Structure 1
Amino acid sequence: MKNFSIRTIVAIGIGAAVFLVLAKFVAIPTGIPNTTIQTAYAFLALMGVVFGPIAGGLIGLIGHALNDATTYGYVWWSWVIVSLFVGFFIGLLGKRINVEEGEFGIKQMISFNIIQAVVQAVGWFLLAPVLDVLIYAEPANKVFTQGAFAGISNIVTVGVIGTILLASYAKTRTKSDSLAKE
């Protein structure tokens, strides 16, 4: 918890607010009930990699809960839990990708996309539908369809937009070997 600084707390607050705005206003409707293509997860992946698993998890939890509460009037906890899961595990596993050093080349891009795809597949293909059935007694065929669509669209969205965000962020960082001693 030594890295849980004021900077991280501020990032959680701002990150949750940005997640809410993206989920509410920069989502693409689909024909599947209560399921949209979300750009918010690309931002969540960036925040998880940069600020770590606790920040990523809390941004996913708070941002998704606020979006549900303001959009539907209630919180759909099974999917909120998956947003926490996705933010936490991309943040945890994403620490291997040290964008703070100004590096985000092909190797890091591939590693990031394998990590995010596996984490999201577990979350959306398995965890979300199982929790929907256990918590809300939803029909399995409905929730596994929703989970599959959400998972695939989130994997693609994070793969494209998340990769661009991380590459752009890495370019703003100073490479550790970029300064020469005179």
Structure 2
Amino acid sequence: MFKNVLSIKTIVAIGIGAAVFVILGRFVSIPTGIPNTTIETSYGFLALMSIVFGPIAGGLIGLIGHALKDLIFYGSIWWSWVIVSALVGLLIGFAWKKIDIESGIFNKKKIILFNIVQIIVQAFGWFAAAPFLDVQIYAEPANKVYLQGVIAGVANMVTVGVIGTLLLLTYAKTRSKSNSLSKEV
């Protein structure tokens, strides 16, 4: 079982996914006006990778990608948010079998399921876990980090809802639909 979860394809996807997460997080993010809080396109990509490759890949891409981004561009790792990025990738990834993007079908029902999952996961991660960890690990002022969490969470829900959905729709079109092949007589 573990062999299937971490195939060579999945390991390569984790490496490439983490690198793309870093690049998007650095060069394709929009400041919100709230200190250290940006609108991140990288979470739309993380959601795609989580649905395509599953929870282990999603969690590791979030963990490695966010940690590297922080280290490279800020000089230190902000572990509370890195943990939440890993959690978001992991938990969205648990929907991979239900959504089954490899079937080539990403219809209205699956789009709604995907967005319900991502909104619940991100609400938990950014509204609760990230601010809680900021207070516990870094002794940050609660009012500051809960505001940052709400802004980041809402921004991530929107970017995943738009970018993640569009990426998944595009990816689904590259897959063969079940029963799409027929035998010529």
TM tier, shorter chain?
over 0.9
Deviations along 1:119-172, one digit per CA (max 9) or x if unpaired, are 000000000000000000000000000000000000000000100000000000
Q: 1:18 aligns with which of 7, 17, 20?
A: 20
> Hey, what does 2:54 align to over in structure 1?
52
| TM-score normalised to structure 1 length | 0.98
> Hey, what does 1:7 align to over in structure 2?
9
User: 1:93 offset after TM fit, Å?
Assistant: 2.2
- Looking at structure 2, the residues matched to 95 and 82 of structure 1 have their Cα atoms a distance apart, in angstroms, of 22
Contact 1:94 1:115 in 2 (8 A): no
Q: 2:153 aligns with which of 141, 151, 154?
A: 151
Percent identity reads 68
Residue identity opposite 1:19 in structure 2: F
User: 1:18 offset after TM fit, Å?
Assistant: 0.2
User: 1:176 offset after TM fit, Å?
Assistant: 1.6
Could you tell me which runs of 5 or more consecutive residues in structure 1 were left unpaired when the two chains were aligned. none
> Hey, what does 1:122 align to over in structure 2?
124
Q: Helix, strand or coil for the counterpart of 1:129?
A: helix
- Looking at structure 1, the residues matched to 43 and 97 of structure 2 have their Cα atoms a distance apart, in angstroms, of 17
Of stretches 1-10 and 99-108 in structure 1, the one that deviates more from structure 2 is 1-10
Residue identity opposite 1:30 in structure 2: T
Superposition misfits of 4+ residues, deviation over 4 angstroms: none
Could you tell me which runs of 5 or more consecutive residues in structure 2 were left unpaired when the two chains were aligned. none
Residue identity opposite 2:117 in structure 1: I
Deviations along 1:60-79, one digit per CA (max 9) or x if unpaired, are 00000011011110000000
Contact 1:94 1:112 in 2 (8 A): no
Q: Helix, strand or coil for the counterpart of 1:37?
A: strand
